[in-house]
């Protein structure tokens, strides 16, 4: 049931942004950024995975405001992980890449 609630919320989170938020290089919703971070950390694409759920709760994802600053924080965390696994030569290169995001962010939910 807990997983169902998480998945439902991830799918239904509104993407409301102020004018300044529209200029943020990390688009999408912070819950999606946290979900991508946790799935990347657990090396799975299964949001229902126990390690992903544990990470999501540890990050207190539902208490994080959907601000550019918070999305950029999780983008940087993902970039740190991506440096080891992907083709970026530095965290800064990844961080500055406006097209970089995880699949949950790109798809607008799980």
Under 8 Å CB-to-CB from 88, ≥6 apart: which residues?
79, 82, 94, 97
Domain parsing of the chain, residue ranges: 26-105
Tokens matching residue 54? 């544990």
Sign of CA dihedral 73, 42, 14, 61: negative
Give burial (CB, 10 Å; 0-12/13-18/19+) of 52.
buried
Could you write out the DSSP letters of every residue in 40-90? Answer: HHHT-S-TTSHHHHHHHHHTTGGGS---HHHHHHHHHHHHHHHHHHSS-SS
Give pTM, 2 decimals.
Answer: 0.77
Q: What is the pLDDT of residues 9-67, one digit of tens each?
A: 554 444 444 446 578 989 999 999 999 999 999 999 999 999 999 999 999 988 999 99
């Amino acid at each position: 049931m807990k997983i169902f609630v998480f998945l439902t919320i991830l799918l239904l989170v509104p993407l409301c942004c102020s004018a300044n938020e529209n200029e943020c290089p990390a688009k999408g919703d912070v819950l999606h950024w946290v979900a991508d971070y946790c799935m990347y950390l657990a090396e799975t694409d299964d949001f229902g995975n126990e390690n992903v759920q544990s990470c999501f709760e540890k990050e207190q994802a539902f208490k994080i405001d959907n601000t550019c600053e918070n999305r950029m924080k999780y983008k940087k965390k993902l970039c740190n992980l991506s440096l080891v696994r992907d083709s970026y030569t530095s965290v800064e290169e990844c961080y500055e890449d406006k097209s970089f995001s995880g699949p949950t962010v790109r798809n607008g939910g799980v």
